């Protein structure tokens, strides 16, 4: 069986809400991305050096369930996403998201931090 997944940007209305409080109830802490390369969920591209971004907690299924009256059940979760700290025009092209950054490959993907002992 083959599954097709479509990356969707965080909707503009939701971005405005996340600018006040994320889905964990925290106020965002914007910062200047000095290196670039963060996967921005608002416009489905990588950040560039010098952009103002924020790491926020986002629960898209929870939001969808609240709008439709569905019960997300065990699938109710939230996770960290990078978004622009201010207005974002959304995706610029129909290209595959996050794949067009120079120097970005599976070898340079961020990985979870762990100790020398593997934990």
Q: Tokens for 47?
A: 């950040």
pLDDT surpasses 80 at 83: yes
pLDDT value, residue 94:
72
The DSSP call for residue 96 is P
- pLDDT (tens digit per residue) in 17-32: 999 999 999 999 999 9
Gap between the Cα atoms of 29 and 64, Å rounded: 25
pLDDT surpasses 70 at 81: yes
pLDDT value, residue 34:
97
Mean pLDDT across 71-93: 91
Contacting residues for 103 by C-beta, under 8 A, at least 6 apart: none
Gap between the Cα atoms of 33 and 51, Å rounded: 5
């Amino acid at each position: 069986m083959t599954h097709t997944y479509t990356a969707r940007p965080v909707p503009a209305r939701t971005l405005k809400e996340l600018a006040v409080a994320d889905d964990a109830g925290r106020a965002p802490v914007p910062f200047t991305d000095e290196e670039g390369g963060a996967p921005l969920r608002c416009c489905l591209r990588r950040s560039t050096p010098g952009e103002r971004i924020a790491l926020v907690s986002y629960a898209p299924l929870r939001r969808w369930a609240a709008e439709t009256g569905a019960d997300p059940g065990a699938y109710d979760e939230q996770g960290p996403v990078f978004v622009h700290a201010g207005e974002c025009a959304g995706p610029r092209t129909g290209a595959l998201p996050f794949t067009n950054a120079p120097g970005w490959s599976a070898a340079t993907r961020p990985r979870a931090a762990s100790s020398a002992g593997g934990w």
